[in-house]
Structure 1
């Protein structure tokens, strides 16, 4: 792991920019206008968007000259570039010192024209980086199906030129979601902590619990104090204060809360600051990929947290445990956003083709009466007799579909929540309630199973029904399949966060169950991101 210490304090960049503009103003009028325009045209020709932008301006400069407007633009951009580390973006993508040197050396019309276009090009790169991330998520993890809302380059340039405050426009490019702001604050704190040695020595040896004492308990106590889970203490025994601190740690890491520092808990406690900082930096990149309106009310399913939440105005108003897709490329739950439009009470389960041919057809070929809880359905919707000779069909030639009618044993339980998507993923009930007692709940074929689906339904229906419980239960008692539309569709976000914050800003961490964040970190590192400490 590469460890570096930031060489430029984050708060001093504006002075650097102002010094540049005061000592080396770019005075376009000193040189041939024709030469400047020709240089702009030639420099912009490599990029169709930039070429069109400058052509519409008659190849006039954006950044060049000693006018207050040009100086403000230069100062604003250089200031923003010197602070990219606060966003978890590699400073090496911009080489600010080299840029300033090039600007100071631009002492003729041709060089000034070239640098004017270069600053516009850098503006576009910065805008895309800070607004929607430096990576293409689908190229890193194929299960991330998210459509990243990339800004239009021409619009960036037009909005920047029209902005009354260039620095204000650049600040506004970063995601405005409260979670992004909280993550930024926490990563700066972790970087400052890294500069002073992190959380101190790790806890050696095996499990610890109430009643233990000695040096290892002291090491655990010191570690918990440094991490902020307990106040200062001189205890050398695993007392109530340490037990409560371990419980707080376990809750913040999605672990079974028992107050005992067992093997898994100690492994998590001993994780270094660098590892936690990696998770936060990945979460910030993920937030940039999701720089969209999430909805005042929305459903938020964090796969690593094994919970599904209903969120109203950034606060969780309902939460239930969930089961997600099992490990394996064909079962892992994908990440995307869509809109929930309806629920189905007393649903039928229409078995996905992949499950039919891979899991059920082999049984049918051996015994036509197998998997008798499922109906075999022909293309006209008729139930196929089990006297049929299924052994003559292969996976590619099997002409039927399969359906499980509504009932207590139905794989979807009593209700499913639909946000129609090409991945055939939805939220639903399940008769397999025992799985919700597990700490790691990755067992499904990809859909999200809910522990409290009826309460989830009541909460959604409360927006449109005066008696949501009575309404739902009345339909349920009929035993008949029924679609219930949501009067106001609700955004659903299937996300993957190994680091996130509570609404009050406390950091939470979860395991990288699918290994996706490890791949994202590796891709960020290839782009030049390093774990950097910042000194105050």
Structure 2
């Protein structure tokens, strides 16, 4: 862990550690402000800001050799030795967690966060926590020695880095290849930002987010909510058989559905009668949307199946996707595209703001779409489709044997031979398997975004039909977005190029990052928790890697 990232984590963490004050205070009379309320207000400002670079004291120091002795005593912290040494060398070996009065408040805040690590979505205990707890407890004693003070100072800093690694960094990057996650891990460089924080008055920085993507904390909020529901222990399976229910129906099943939807927050009214009313229909539609189902408002087999997923399973899903959110960029300042495979959706962003979204078709389970990122550089209008040799060998040769005119009927031609197989391409046109346009971000997986003549597939709720590439439902709109700042292209010229019947490849003036991701739980733009099926069976493997699961 380099010092720039480490130092940022240290400063950012204090901003998060500091608790909000004011809970349980007595209400003040209107127009009357007491001295105590001013103190509370100022404490609020302080607690939402950065109180300088830890303790501001510089006189109380220790020898750098103490760090080596500490690591020998606590070898599980050896991976952080360089970061700890660098941190204190920048402080001239001055204590960070103590001032002239003793241990500063932040030490207790850090210890509380570590003690409640489960609420951060991490199901493990950090090394030597009992030693930390014992030293914190003893620090007020008159018998607390200088040697113990150094030990507590260093164990707090070491725990700090351990917390940051677990909560903000996630599992070691070397394991990601094992779960087919080929996106590069986030990189953080905050030198200028850090300098400005340390040089500015505390009151100037009231809210600073942790160095993780916003999805992490959004999922964390729902994790705690689902744990509350699970702790109630009254979950029962809803048994509806093969019967469907719709507006106006009456059944005991409807009463059970109402109770479940009220617990989940989709139904606002706690009244659980047996009548399928309009409020229930709206709640069912919202639930269906959150789970990627057709939002017809009818309680059918698919809806009952999702309603019957136990809270413990949803908790595991949240934990797994919180882990994934630790790996991706905190934010992206440019235009970028995100394809979430289990969601079957493309999301178009500009400066980290969602612009629009559309349906996509992704690879079948046997032809999984790869999780990776690239830079979209080219648009091919009226494209040829160069048929992959695997498809030629496994599919086209059989069709060609059955029908000698197969290639002609499908507007295909042989362009050569390689390794005993014909090289086949499909000519441009409305029947081309790539449709009228494709979007290229060169990669070793030969994956790209493209149009398709098979428009009906976009109406399916589960859309894993392709050989791995990604079919998009609104290719014209995507071309508009990518070319919107190029005066040589407008709607007319884009439409003409798509229908020219002659391939034309253009280079974009600015590359657009594309992220192909895999999230089976996420919070949408309306703040609603969404769940999707684990179509490639990736969740369980990751869950086994990050924890011995205990909801």
Aligned to 1:289, what secondary structure does the other structure show?
A: coil
Which residue matches 2:239?
204
| 1:193 matched to 2:229 | yes
Which residue matches 2:372?
336
Which residue matches 1:227?
264
| 1:218 matched to 2:255 | yes
Distance verdict in 2 for CA 1:61–1:101, change over 3 Å: farther
Equivalent-residue separation in structure 2 for 1:151 and 1:52 (angstroms):
20
- Once the two structures are overlaid, the 10-residue window that deviates more, 58-67 or 469-478, is 58-67
Equivalent-residue separation in structure 2 for 1:97 and 1:13 (angstroms):
26
1:238 deviates by: 2.4
Query: Which residues of structure 2 form unaligned runs of 5+?
Result: 1-16, 22-54, 73-77
Which residue matches 1:511?
533
1:40 deviates by: 2.3
Distance verdict in 2 for CA 1:327–1:164, change over 3 Å: same
1:251 deviates by: 1.4
1:266 deviates by: 0.4
Distance verdict in 2 for CA 1:163–1:361, change over 3 Å: farther
Which residue matches 1:417?
439
Equivalent-residue separation in structure 2 for 1:149 and 1:492 (angstroms):
14
| 1:241 matched to 2:279 | yes
Tell me if structure 2 keeps the 8 A contact 1:465–1:471.
no
Select which of 507, 514, 521 maps to 2:543.
Answer: 521
Which residue matches 1:88?
121
Select which of 321, 343, 348 maps to 1:283.
Answer: 321
Return the TM-score normalized by structure 2. Answer: 0.75
- Once the two structures are overlaid, the 10-residue window that deviates more, 111-120 or 262-271, is 111-120
Equivalent-residue separation in structure 2 for 1:232 and 1:452 (angstroms):
40
TM-align CA RMSD: 4.2
1:515 deviates by: 1.2
Equivalent-residue separation in structure 2 for 1:164 and 1:81 (angstroms):
28
Tell me if structure 2 keeps the 8 A contact 1:318–1:456.
no
Query: Which residues of structure 1 form unaligned runs of 5+?
Result: 1-9, 15-24, 379-383, 385-392, 532-536
Select which of 464, 478, 485 maps to 2:507.
Answer: 485
Tell me if structure 2 keeps the 8 A contact 1:301–1:307.
yes
Equivalent-residue separation in structure 2 for 1:222 and 1:130 (angstroms):
34
Tell me if structure 1 keeps the 8 A contact 2:114–2:126.
no
Equivalent-residue separation in structure 1 for 2:197 and 2:157 (angstroms):
11
Which residue matches 1:41?
68
Return the TM-score normalized by structure 1. Answer: 0.76
Tell me if structure 1 keeps the 8 A contact 2:238–2:256.
yes
Equivalent-residue separation in structure 2 for 1:491 and 1:515 (angstroms):
26
Equivalent-residue separation in structure 1 for 2:546 and 2:201 (angstroms):
31
1:345 deviates by: 0.5
Equivalent-residue separation in structure 2 for 1:427 and 1:218 (angstroms):
45
Equivalent-residue separation in structure 2 for 1:149 and 1:316 (angstroms):
20
Count of paired positions: 485
Tell me if structure 2 keeps the 8 A contact 1:301–1:494.
yes
Matches within 5 A, 1:375-390: 375-378=413-416
Matches within 5 A, 1:67-106: 67=100, 71=104, 74-75=107-108, 77-94=110-127, 96-102=129-135
| 1:147 matched to 2:164 | no
